[in-house]
């Protein structure tokens, strides 16, 4: 029997009532509840059990307040068997790479938990609509929460995509956690500039065990987009509204996650999404005109770049510390049109003397950095700070990591940082 995560009083309670993880029970506490007993986090207390209710949400119940228990069903002992999807020679091929996101998850009915659906058979079982759109191959590259991803992971994803640049795949889906998706999208956009196939990074704001989950529809829409579009490059494919009527395809260097939990958390900064998926129709933004470039992969990153948000009271010693600890570039998130207080000037001058690249973005969500308007901006220009247009600060950070690794000196880096490599600077 499974009691994962339970110990002490809660474990005794389950054993006494002959209940294990995955059992469907009815309990009387403050009100009546019906749900599947869920595994618990390993550092949880021993006074509660967790139920997954029929609406998909979990609830913790204090065992001392449970007055009555009825077992409705026990967890199945036989594993589900899934049929391999039948390949249709008339359909194009898509590769789905998993990096650890829960976009293609399914419910484990033994425990009530959500597990990744990683094989073609599991994908077919969890999102059967995919088999009518394309023949999908799957590969697990690694399994990490997106907050744990590092530039080394960007390199692995980019190398995998590069190996498919001349393959028969119509496009590639990268299943990815949402928290750092915009960083990975930018990293792939720069390192694989001119990539000859469409790449869709897809995530889910809400897991597949919740009625409001966006997982399946995001994945289905990404597959339709890849099959029907003639566009190439890197896109983030997520809900465009809180309803299910539109899925947005954001350009990889112009996108930002602007909400913690809404299904339409991702937005294109400074414009509209490149494409909108409305059921089976793909609508192109008329103003979206991507740069046409030859495919010249440069898959290297140097993480010795600091993203520094300026605020009143920021101690300039932080810049000095960055210099002394080996950082080679600083991206400022300045105020307004691209300013920092004059208290920072000496440290910025020190950084430039030491050969660091110093770039300026804005804390404002939209608009261009224009450092020629006020004296403070002109002072920073005279110190060697480079304005970075309307580049999203996180995109500028990733671009600086990429540029630092692929240039021979700060002068060349300055040139690359002000060039429009992957649509990161818009009009």
The CATH code of the domain that includes 258 is: 3.40.50.1170
278 phi, psi to nearest 5 deg: -115, 95
Instruction: Tell me how crowded residue 293 is: count the other CB atoms within 10 A of its CB.
Output: 14
Residues 280 and 346 reside in one and the same domain: no
The domain in which residue 380 lies consists of 305-418
Which pTM does this prediction carry? 0.85
Helix (H, G, I), strand (E, B) or coil at 400: helix
Active site residues: 102, 178-179, 257
Instruction: Tell me how crowded residue 375 is: count the other CB atoms within 10 A of its CB.
Output: 9
Instruction: Tell me how crowded residue 58 is: count the other CB atoms within 10 A of its CB.
Output: 15
Residues 209 and 272 reside in one and the same domain: yes
Residues 313 and 274 reside in one and the same domain: no
**What string of DSSP letters covers 196-263?**
SSEEEEE--SS-TTSTT--HHHHHHHHHHHHHH----EEEEEEESSSSSS-EEEEETTSEEE--SS-T
Return the pLDDT at 337. 98
Residues 200 and 236 reside in one and the same domain: yes
Return the pLDDT at 109. 46
Answer yes or no: is 423 within a domain: no
Helix (H, G, I), strand (E, B) or coil at 418: helix
Domain count across the chain: 3
| Tens of each residue's pLDDT in the chain, 427 residues | 788 889 999 999 999 999 999 899 999 998 999 999 988 876 778 999 999 888 878 899 999 999 999 999 988 765 555 566 788 999 999 999 988 766 645 555 445 455 555 565 666 667 889 999 999 998 888 888 889 999 999 999 999 999 999 999 999 999 998 999 999 999 999 999 999 999 999 998 876 656 567 888 999 999 999 999 999 999 999 999 988 899 999 999 999 999 998 999 999 999 999 999 998 899 999 999 888 899 999 999 999 999 999 999 999 999 999 999 999 999 999 999 999 999 999 999 999 999 999 999 999 999 999 999 999 999 999 999 999 999 999 999 999 999 999 999 999 999 999 999 999 998 7
Return the CATH number at 414.
Answer: 3.40.50.40
Residues 69 and 99 reside in one and the same domain: no
Residues 115 and 63 reside in one and the same domain: no
Contacts 24+ apart (CB under 8 A), 237-241: 237/200, 237/201, 237/202, 237/277, 238/178, 238/202, 238/203, 238/205, 238/214, 238/263, 238/264, 238/265, 238/266, 239/205, 239/214, 239/263, 239/264, 239/266, 240/264, 240/273, 240/276
Q: Domain ends where: 284, 318, 338?
A: 284
Residues 130 and 33 reside in one and the same domain: no
Return the CATH number at 43.
Answer: 2.30.30.520
Q: 362 burial class (0-12, 13-18, 19+ CB within 10 angstroms)?
A: buried
Residues 120 and 213 reside in one and the same domain: yes
Beta bridge partners of residue 201, listed in sequence order: 174, 236
Residues 157 and 15 reside in one and the same domain: no
Answer yes or no: is 343 within a domain: yes
Return the pLDDT at 56. 76
Answer yes or no: is 427 within a domain: no
């Amino acid at each position: 029997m499974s009691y994962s995560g339970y110990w002490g009083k809660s474990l005794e309670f389950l054993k006494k009532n002959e209940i294990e993880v995955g059992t469907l029970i009815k309990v009387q506490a403050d009100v009546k509840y019906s749900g599947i007993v869920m595994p618990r986090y390993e550092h949880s207390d021993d006074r509660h059990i967790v139920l997954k209710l029929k609406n998909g949400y979990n609830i913790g119940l204090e065992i001392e307040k449970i007055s009555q228990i009825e077992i409705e069903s026990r967890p199945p002992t036989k594993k589900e068997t899934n049929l391999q999807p039948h390949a249709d020679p008339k359909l194009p091929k898509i590769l789905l790479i998993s990096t650890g996101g829960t976009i293609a998850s399914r419910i484990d009915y033994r425990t009530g938990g959500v597990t990744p659906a990683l094989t073609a058979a599991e994908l077919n079982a969890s999102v059967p609509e995919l088999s009518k759109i394309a023949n999908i191959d799957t590969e697990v590259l690694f399994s990490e929460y997106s907050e744990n991803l590092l530039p080394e992971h960007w390199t692995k994803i980019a190398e995998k995509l590069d190996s498919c640049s001349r393959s028969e795949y119509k496009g590639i889906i990268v299943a990815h956690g949402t928290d750092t998706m915009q960083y990975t999208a930018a990293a792939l956009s720069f390192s694989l500039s001119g990539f000859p196939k469409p790449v869709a990074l897809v995530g889910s704001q809400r897991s597949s065990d919740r009625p409001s989950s966006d997982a399946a529809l995001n994945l289905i829409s990404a597959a339709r987009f890849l099959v029907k579009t003639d566009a190439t490059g890197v896109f983030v494919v997520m809900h465009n509204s809180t309803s299910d009527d539109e899925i947005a395809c954001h350009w990889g260097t112009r996108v930002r996650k602007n909400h913690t939990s809404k299904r339409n958390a991702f937005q294109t900064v400074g414009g509209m999404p490149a494409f909108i998926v409305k059921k089976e129709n793909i609508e192109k933004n008329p103003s979206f005109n991507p740069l046409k470039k030859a495919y010249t992969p440069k898959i290297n990153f140097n993480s010795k770049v600091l993203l520094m948000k300026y605020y009143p009271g920021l101690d300039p010693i932080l810049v000095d510390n960055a210099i002394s600890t080996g950082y080679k570039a600083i991206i400022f998130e300045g105020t307004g049109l691209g300013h920092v207080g004059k208290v920072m000037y000496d440290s910025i001058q020190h950084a430039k003397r030491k050969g660091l690249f110093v770039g300026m973005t804005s804390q404002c969500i939209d608009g261009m950095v224009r450092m020629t308007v006020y004296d403070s901006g002109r002072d920073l220009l005279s110190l060697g700070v480079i304005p970075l247009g309307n580049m999203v600060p996180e995109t500028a950070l990733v671009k600086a990591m990429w540029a630092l690794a692929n240039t021979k000196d700060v002068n060349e880096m300055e040139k690359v940082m002000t060039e429009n490599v992957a649509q990161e600077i818009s009009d």
